[in-house]
Structure 1
Amino acid sequence: MEFKEGLMRLVVQKSKENDWVFDTGDRVIGTIHSPRRKWKLFHRSSSAIPSKPSKPQIPKEFICPISGSLMADPVIVSSGHTFERVCVQVCKALNFTPNLMNSPPPDFTSIIPNLALKSTILNWCQNYSIDPPKPLDFNSAEKIVRTSMASEPEKATISENELLIRGVKQAPAVNFNHAATEVTRRPTHFHSSSDESVSPTALTPPLPLSTQPSCYSSPSSSCSEMESPTKSPEEDEILTKLRSAHVSEIEEALSSLRRITRTREEDRARLCTTRLLSTLRPLLVSRYTSIQVNSVAALVNLSLHKSNKIKIVRSGILPPLIDVLKAGSPEAQEHASGAVFSLALDDDCKTAIGVLGALPPLLHLLNSEGERTRHDSALALYHLSLVQSNRSKLVKIGSVPVLLRLVKSGHMTGRVLLSLCNLSSCADGRAAMLDSGGVECLVGVLRGNEFDSRSTQESCVATLYGLSHGGLRFKGLAKAAGAVEVLREVEKRGSERGREKARRMLEMMRGRDKEEEEEVDWEELLDSGLGSRTRCQLGGGGGGSCVNSSEF
């Protein structure tokens, strides 16, 4: 009892000297400073243990500014910005420059893989047990970019005109070989129905090896015109009928639009608005043939105005237009090939048209029953093949054998040779043409003088000149095909450009022959002693008397 009382007095005394600190569970976790006691006791409570965050925050530099998601394949563009690769490809295809917060506009001229950032993102995902990001597919990225384009209408309009102005500085304007469409069905022969159309005699293709179309548009075409902010009553009336549930009203509106835009440039520029193009887009693939034909024909007329071309491409109307090329009615395909040809005349549209898949159906339509369809498809392929990326695509889809067969058959020789001439300027195209018998085919055309114009002969010679950069293989194939005699004839009687290229090819072939003859005369060398020396080295001599026999 005395011991217990003493112990209680000691506890009461200590409690007066120290202010004990308790937690919610009445457990002592420490003491406030006491002058007589310098040690402290602590008891860690379970509530004091910090909890691990459930989901880490993604660093800002890991997120693509366009898609807003974690980058799987980051690339650095010319301006120094980093984006997801497929987003850059879509922006280039649609000629769209996104608006970045507190940053200058990006430049998509060139892209470089950002391997360091890609490795950092993968390590970060591994550290936080997060699945690595998967690359976006092209369709998903296209939807994201189109959403951005729709949210920046003013900026898109400015960019269009800036691109058009740059295009005018770099290349001359164009004159259309494609006549504006009429309301009624067009005949199979060439017909001029607008101020920008040309007569059949003026449909001579540009000279070969040119980098731009050699034809010019009427001076009244303005590339700096912007879409009018005012809405015209005429446009509102057409749009109201186009959105109608009655087929007859839609047909009436399309016929009216087609008639209004057939001849007057100012009407084409005024009516080519974002509202009208978005309304016209689903009508291109209508199940009603008359609606499909008239909507594509109206699009051809709108595309004839220079400032409308990029606007049409950016409106997202190319995919349904390409669907018409693939599976539309014959008359709709005729108009669709003319629309693609018209859009392909603009340098800023060529890449997008190739990326979105217009090359295979255009190549297929070269064998179409409609003359107009064949000719417009051939000229569209020529203008699209002026871009290197499209040349590579044409080689991959097997266009070279198809084009050579058309040349051999004498079918659209002049127009087809223009595309072959462009393909011969790249390494892949040259290899494909040499493999497919291109040298023999072209030499045969020159020998037969099967030309509908002087420019066709120039195209044939220019294509051979491009193939001559194939080196010794071209030389062997040319000799086997008898090209020397044919080129001599062109050198005498051809056009100025044809004579110059023929002379260069002959000099190249003669120069190599002379060089080879001067270096080694194999027959003389064999007769004079190489054979006996070789026999001696092989042990054919008596007694192994040859000095070099042991070194063979």
Structure 2
Amino acid sequence: MGNGKNKWKISFYRSSSTALKPERKNPPKEFLCPISGSLMADPVIVSSGQTFERLYFQVCMNLGFTPTLSDGSKPDFSTVIPNIAIKSTILNWCDAAAIERPQPPDLDSAEKLVRTLMASQVEKSQIENMKEDDKIAVSEKELLKGIAENPPVKFTHAATEVNRRPSHFYSSSEESVATKIPTTPLPLPLPLPLATRPSCYSSSSSSSEIVADETINPNSSEEEEIVVKLKSSQVFEQEEAVISLRKITRTREETRVSLCTPRLLSALRSLLISRYSAIQINAVAALVNLSLERMNKVKIVRSGIILPLIDVLKGRSTEAQEHAAGALFSLALDDDNKTAIGVLGALHPLLHTIRSESERARHDSALALYHLSLLQSNRSKLVKLGSVPALLAMAKAGDLASRALLILCNLAVCAEGRAALLDANAVECFVGMMRGNELDSEATRENCVVALYELSRKSLRFKGLAKEAGAAEVLRDVEQRGSDRAREKAKRMLKMMRRRDEKEEVDWEAVLESGAMSQTRRRLGCGINASGANSTEF
């Protein structure tokens, strides 16, 4: 009888122990972060109800990225709170399953994973929304005919510039044959002739280009021969291929479209980060040549070439940086590329390169940032990256004042940009530049007026800052001697400032003359005494 009880007790204990264990070792789906697919160490719940690992949420917010989840929905990241309940459940599950508790992920690995997800999501979106059949192939002659009504464009091997001041902004949508209406057009002109080809592009050989014999047989498939050599395991064949590709895409413009195939771009992409300097420089330079054709710009970005270009921009080779900045500038001319370039993280390296020792790198980086900042999402990113103080310092220094002012004018269009500019004493900076005749051209002076005008709109702080900086005197001078457009902007600002001053004076004089203030005080005083509500006697 006793032995039977003991057996029953042992059997009962084992049954209870088994019941405490989870049925499976694999964690439930709700324990996993939708971005990383790993157990969450610090889960947070967002406005739309999903739960994420906190670090992945923060990285997405920093990069301005909203992932598409497995069910096709997009989370709302506007607010976030700790999900204590799910965290406690995860820890209990780990303890019961004898599994090590999850640790917070590493920041570098989190950023790398999110950037990879961004790249794949952008590529998928572009593949779905952009069909090759919708592209229109045009020759240079047809292109010139298509823009005959716009300011004339001179196509040369050195640089293409707008020959007269544009009466409004020109973005890549206005350079294409199928004209699009920008979603957030900038309302004011920036009358500075802008190059549409990178300064690093030249019809002459550079110092890094080795003059080699023509190795490509013009009667055979050029693409096939180049791709084979680009993919070769022999370094000398890779170098020979990128030099030949750079040469023929510079001297034979008609081959740029035919050679810009997914297969060639894939082979070229791997050589952009080659540890051999000559291969890297010539590969990036060849990419610049290919990017000059409008038909190639979107195709290049879709090939996944932006991330390697960013790596080149962060590298140590000055000449490779020049070409990388030129390629990003050329690709940013197309509106369909602006979002992808900004999302993939090119803004911060471009801001760094804008202070490079190389004049070419500075010039092309500034123009790339100008065209990218035509897009609202990129403006917000630039403000968050702290670009405003750096750009104001550049504008005051004079080296790239005109380019810096173009970017600042774009930033002043959005609310975040206006706030950052006002916080950084931009009003005093612009007024001081105009007063001290520190500007290199009338166009740059006009851009200062445009920036001030943008800051004056929808801002209650502008009037006080402008008065403190002595803006009225400078604006009156512009009103008398500036360009037509600058005079118009100055006149509007002065009228706005005078109207507010007069309104305040009239209001106060009316109050004093009518005795309304004393009447109001007496009325309030009677009310207080009668009611005794505010008396100190309790």
TM-score between the two structures when normalised by the length of structure 2? 0.65
Which of 429, 433, 440 in structure 1 is aligned with 2:421?
433
Aligned mates of 2:258, 2:76 — CA distance in 1: 35
1:128 equivalent in alignment to 2:115: no
CA gap 1:109/1:200 in 2 versus in 1, 3 angstroms: farther
Equivalent position of 2:312 in the other structure: 324
Deviation of 1:141 (Å): 6.6
The structural deviation recorded for 1:251 is 2.0
In the other structure, the counterpart of 1:460 is 448
- Name the SS for the 2:493 alignment partner: helix
| 2:182 is aligned with 1:216 | no
Does residue 298 of the first structure (1) align with residue 308 of the second (2)? Answer: no
How far off is 1:439 after superposition?
Answer: 2.2
Match for residue 160 of structure 2? 199
Q: Is the 8 A contact 2:446 2:483 kept in 1?
A: yes
Select which of 453, 465, 486 maps to 2:474: 486
The CA deviation string for residues 518-544 of structure 1, in whole angstroms up to 9 with x for no partner, is 23469x99xxxx9xxxxxxxxxxxxxx
Match of 1:386, SS state, is: coil
CA–CA distance in 2 between the matches of 1:516 and 1:153? 52
Tell me, yes or no, if the aligned pair for 2:291 and 2:327 is still in contact at 8 Å.
yes
- Identical-pair percentage: 52
Q: CA deviation at 1:358?
A: 3.1
One-letter amino acid matched to 1:336 = A
**Amino acid in the other structure paired with 2:462:** F
1:113-153 deviations in whole A, cap 9, x for unaligned?
Answer: 6769x455324214424535745746457458859988x99
Checking the alignment, whether the CA contact within 8 Å between 2:59 and 2:114 is kept in structure 1 is no
State the AA in 1 paired with 2:283.
S
Q: Which amino acid aligns with 2:453?
A: Y
Distance 1:109 1:301 in 2: 40
Higher mean Cα deviation, 297-306 or 387-396? 387-396
- Does 2:236 match 1:248? yes
Name structure 1 gaps, 5 residues minimum.
1-25, 29-41, 167-173, 176-190, 221-231, 531-549
One-letter amino acid matched to 2:86: I
Q: Which residue is equivalent to 2:15?
A: 49
Q: How many residues align?
A: 449
* Counterpart position of 2:365: 377
2:402 equivalent to 1:414: yes
Q: Distance in 2 between matches of 1:216 and 1:357?
A: 25
Match of 1:159, as an amino acid? Answer: E
Relative to 1, partners in 2 of residues 1:153 and 1:449: Cα closer, same or farther, differing over 3 Å?
closer
The change in CA–CA distance for 1:165 and 1:126 in structure 2 (over 3 A counts) is farther
- For the pair 1:161 / 2:130, whether they are aligned, the reply is yes
Query: Aligned equivalents of 1:399 and 1:521: distance in 2?
Result: 45
* Whole-Å separation in 1 of the counterparts to 2:170 and 2:330: 17
Contact 2:43-2:86 at 8 Å conserved across structures: no
Deviates more, 1:243-252 or 1:415-424: 243-252
Q: CA, structure 1 residues 69+437, in 2 after alignment: closer, same or farther (shift >3 Å)?
A: closer
Deviation for aligned residue 1:476: 3.3
Instruction: Give the whole-Å Cα distance in 2 for the aligned partners of 1:397 and 1:243.
Output: 38
Which residue type is aligned with residue 60 of structure 1? Answer: K
Q: Do the aligned partners of residues 250 and 148 (structure 1) sit closer, same or farther apart at CA in structure 2, a change above 3 Å counting?
A: same
1:363 Cα deviation after fit: 3.0
1:83-102, aligned counterparts within 5 Å?
Answer: 86=56, 100=70
Distance 1:447 1:154 in 2: 49
Asked if the contact 2:31/2:90 (under 8 Å) is kept, the reply is no
- State whether residues 322 and 358 of structure 1, in contact with CA within 8 Å, keep that contact through their aligned partners in structure 2: yes
Q: Where does residue 171 of structure 1 map in the other structure? A: none
The structure 1 residue matched to 2:28, chosen from 38, 49, 59, is 59
CA deviation string 1:204-225 (max 9, x = no partner): 6x668x59557514679xxxxx
Q: Please report how far the alpha carbon of residue 240 of structure 1 lies from its aligned counterpart in structure 2 after TM superposition.
A: 1.9
Q: Is the 8 A contact 2:313 2:321 kept in 1?
A: yes
Change (3 A) 1:250 1:454: same
Residue 410 to residue 509, structure 1, CA distance change in 2 (3 Å): same
Judge which range, 135-144 or 122-131, deviates more. Answer: 135-144
1:442 aligns with 2:401: no
Aligned residue identity for 1:49 = S
2:495 maps to 1:507:
yes
Please give the per-residue CA displacement for 1:348-406, whole angstroms capped at 9, x wherever unaligned.
54344345543344334334454433321111111222344543443455433433333
Distance 1:513 1:256 in 2: 68
Structure 1 residues 386, 119: CA separation in 2 closer, same or farther (over 3 Å shift)? farther
Q: Secondary structure at the match of 1:491?
A: helix
1:338 Cα deviation from its structure 2 partner: 0.8
Give the Å deviation of 1:93. 7.2
Cα distance in 1, alignment partners of residues 464 and 172 from structure 2: 34
Contact 2:398 2:439 in 1 (8 A): no
Query: 1:433: how far off?
Result: 3.3
Q: Distance in 2 between matches of 1:306 and 1:96?
A: 29
Amino acid at match of 1:242: L
Local SS of the residue matching 1:68? coil
Q: Tell which structure's C-alpha radius of gyration is larger.
A: 1
- Tell me, what secondary structure is at the counterpart of 1:319? helix
Distance in 2 separating the partners of 1:260 and 1:446: 47
CA distance in 1 between counterparts of 2:372 and 2:127 reads 25
Superposed CA offset, 1:74-133 (max 9, x none) = 67798x988778489779979998795xx5xx35485456769x4553242144245357
Structure 1 residues 407 and 89 mapped into 2: Cα distance closer, same or farther (>3 Å)? closer
Of 325, 331, 336 in structure 2, the residue corresponding to residue 337 of structure 1 is 325
Question: Which sections of structure 2, spanning at least 5 residues, go unmatched?
Answer: 96-100, 136-142, 145-153, 180-219, 519-534
| 2:37 equivalent to 1:68 | yes
- C-alpha distance in structure 2 between counterparts of 1:93 and 1:435, whole Å: 23
Q: Distance in 1 between matches of 2:58 and 2:132?
A: 17
The Cα shift of 1:339 comes to 0.9
Q: Distance between the aligned counterparts of 1:377 and 1:153, measured in 2?
A: 23
What secondary structure is seen at the aligned counterpart in 2 of 1:285?
coil
Return the match for 1:400 from 355, 378, 388.
388
Change (3 A) 1:274 1:328: farther
1:457 is displaced (CA, Å) by 3.9
3-state SS of 2:232 partner? coil
